[in-house]
Amino acid sequence: MSVPGNILHLQDEISTGIVSAVTSSLIARKQGLASRLTAKIVAEDAESGLGYRDDLGELTHFVWGERKKESGPYKISYLAYRDREQFLELLAFLKGLGDQIHCVQLVEPAHVQIQDMINEPFRHQKLSKGNEFQEFNKAQA
């Protein structure tokens, strides 16, 4: 189930698409219905956020970003989490959208080197060179 919504940030009202509930059987999970619903909600709005709430309804961790096209690249502007487990859950969530989204760009947090989490990172860079969704690492100091 999804619902439209708005977030008030300082003086700006930002529209959102919220996946409020996803219930699916084992067969539906294997078919990726929840991932497709989530990707559809993300694709409906150029700038959007997705996250997790605890049992009390408090937002615990989320990603916020914008898309260039429906299939990406998605540029993650904000990544908010409280601990390592929440961070890894957000990365797993983004990876789970891989059948709909070809590329995600994000600034890696100070305490993490995402390259360490990628199998054969330099191999993928060579294979995607010159591609619209080229894989690369960029460092700034």
Fold (CATH) for 2-107: Aminopeptidase (3.40.630)
What pLDDT shows up at residue 138?
66
Query: How far is residue 133's CA from residue 128's CA, in Å, rounded to a whole number?
Result: 7
Structure token digits, residue 73: 């690249």
Of residues 2, 76, 3, the one with CA closest to residue 34: 2
What H or E segment, with its residue span, contains residue 139? none
Asked if residues 65 and 76 have their Cβ atoms less than 8 Å apart, the reply is yes
What pLDDT shows up at residue 87?
92
Residue 17 has pLDDT above 60, yes or no: yes
pLDDT digits (tens, 9 = 90+) for 71-114: 777 888 888 899 989 999 998 888 888 778 877 888 888 888 87
